[in-house]
Amino acid sequence: MSLVRNPVLPGCYPDPSVCRVGQWYYLVCSTFEYLPGLPVMRSRDLVTWETVGHVVDREGMLDLGGIRSSGGLYAPTIRHDGERFWVVCTLVDQNDDQRGGNFVCLADDAAGPWSDPIWLDERGIDPSLFFDDDGRVWIHGTRLVEPDRAEWHDQTEVWIRELDRTSMRLTGPEHLVWNGALTNAVWAEGPHLFTVDGTYYLLAAEAGTEFHHAVSVARADRVTGPYVGNAGNPVLTHRHLGRRHPVVGVGHADLVETPDGDWFAVLLAMRTYGGYHYPLGRETFLVPVVWEDGWPVFAPGVGMVPREVEVPGASAAPSGWNPEGRPGVVAPSDRRWTALRALPATVAAPDGDGWHLPVRADGLGEPGVPAFVGLRQQHQDVDVTLELDVAALQVGERAGLVLRQSEQDHVTLDVTPEGGRLVVRARRRAGADGEGVPGRADPRADALPGSGEPMGHASVAADAGRIVLGMRARGTDVDLFHRSPTPDGPGREHHVATADARWLDTVTTGGFLGLWIGAFATSDGRPAAGSVRVRFAYHPAGGSIPRHQTTTTSLSTHHAAAGSLESELVSTEGDRP
């Protein structure tokens, strides 16, 4: 029995869904406007996860063009029918209700290839799959109740309908089975069906994916209901613990049984720091579950998401773990890399252990396809550096680091050639007013039109054509710096500005995402001709990765011998990841 600290997937891995096939567990989560979409992770112990592929990983599979931040791919569910993997998901365009919808993708192997989307003729969000013992397949999901039937604002309903396996079309009558456990409960969503000892169970979230979030459960003798809620609903929530508790927003759970008959739930929650803020976003946590009197009991004897979970057989690393998960330079082959509304290969090309990034006219402030490659910030305390070769960068173009929440809210540290020198600028773009969060703008700063609020700047010689830009996060303080490498060493570090991560979390900005850190290159709408070569390094403070954390692997190394992971535990306090 191993004690493992939550979260098991730090960083923005929201809306987790899990299933087991033999000795392996498989998990997917939401990715919104980022591609490749819907990472498929696997684990032997529910703790150490390796990314083996993505469901949406080919050009043309889905069109995310123009979809704004916090739109895109919502709340997938993964299941296995004994022969194939199924993932059902929703594509959302918040500006166009007629675009997108629910779809299914199929694969013989979780690593892919996955089929093109098979669209379902049913609106709403958060679809799920249930394979009954009689061979029938049931799709279920949630949607807003029609205004003429709604009893309260943002009332939703969970529906169930059969899916014909042959035609892959919904068939038969629709059954409305759930509106939430409590009267006036908004956003009953994220439904999942299970059978245990001949009884059907409906697990659902409610109250919205924020402070009041909760998990409720109901049961029935037939898959189509009627469902009767647990008298103790919600069966798991943190809303009664207050905003000072280090973990908030618990909900959107999925259940899985181990080969030995133990049960666990994966769910989302947020770790707060810097007050009631959670810049890393909604993360994946693990909670033990037992069955008593025909009902699931979450976190028995504790009643809340535990800081540490006892997991039988949890190991330091799965057999497929490889050094790509270690801190340091993040090579292009690492499966954590994403781009905006396009695959990384659309906007960048691998160049050794870095990227060649052609400048694009699209900027970070519009829902286009900018020259951006990035990955999740997974640690509250982290050092990130970006080494740039800017010899091919043109006047009027800029490239650098971005700490991104959305088009409207991000912080950039970039470099542009001007007058034979390189000018480094720190900027903040703010779509929200950030009330209550103090700014730290450098009064000497200057700005470019449309590039965001100035924070600081510096001018350096352009002789070498190389510069290193960096972000050092310690909690919500994010120091921005630059240095110029020399043949004799890394060069002296120069402070440019300090950003506040509270500017960028969803408490301040709205939306559903945690922070991404990445490289970008833009001409801010003007014709682009230049390019940069970049090399990105990610170092959690202390220099080691959490003992139980996400790892990435290429298909050719699935069965490689495992190394030994360094021993830093994921924690909500003390030595933060």
Whether residues 203 and 352 fall in one domain: no
The CA distance from 456 to 484, in Å, is 17
Residue 453: the pLDDT is 78
- Residue 550 falls inside a structural domain: no
Q: Regarding predicted confidence, which is higher, 41 or 553?
A: 41
* CATH number (domain holding residue 365): 2.60.120.200
Q: In the predicted model, what is the mean pLDDT of the chain?
A: 89
Assess whether 7 and 57 both reside in one domain. Answer: yes
Q: How many domains does the chain have?
A: 2
522-557 burial by CB neighbour count: b if 16+ within 10 A, else e?
bbbeeebebbbbbbbbbbbbeeebbbbbbbbbbeee
Which of 182, 176, 169, 63 is closest to 124 using CA atoms? 176
319, part of any domain:
no
pLDDT band at 282 (very low <50, low <70, confident <90, very high): very high
Tens-place pLDDT, residues 152-176: 999 999 999 999 999 999 999 999 9
Whichever domain contains 132, its CATH number is 2.115.10.20
Same domain, 305 and 333: no
- Note whether 111 and 238 are same-domain residues: yes
| Three-state secondary-structure class, residue 546 | strand
For residue 186, the Cα-to-chain-centroid distance in whole angstroms is: 23
Cβ distance 204 to 178 under 8 Å? yes
> Does the residue 562 lie in any domain?
no
Summarised one tens digit per residue, pLDDT across range 363-422 is: 999 999 999 999 999 999 999 999 999 999 999 999 999 999 999 999 999 999 998 899
Please tell me whether residues 306 and 333 are part of one structural domain.
Answer: no
Point out the catalytic residue in the list 157, 189, 383, 407. Answer: 189
Which residue range forms the structural domain that includes residue 65? 2-311
Say how far apart CA 256 and CA 324 lie, in whole Å: 28
Do 150 and 237 share a domain, yes or no?
yes
552 belongs to a structural domain:
no
Whether 11 has a pLDDT exceeding 70, the answer reads: yes
Regarding whether 341 and 243 lie in a shared domain, the answer is no
274 and 380 in a single domain? The answer is: no
The predicted structure's pLDDT at residue 539:
96
Q: In terms of domains, do 304 and 389 share one?
A: no
Q: Do 371 and 467 lie in a common domain? A: yes
Tell me the per-residue pLDDT of 78-101, one tens digit each, with 9 for 90 and over: 999 999 999 999 999 988 888 899
The pLDDT of residue 572 is above 70: no
Residues 276 and 343 in one domain: no
Active-site residue, 157 included: no
Residue 15 catalytic? yes
Residues 471 and 367 in one domain: yes
- 317 in any annotated domain: no
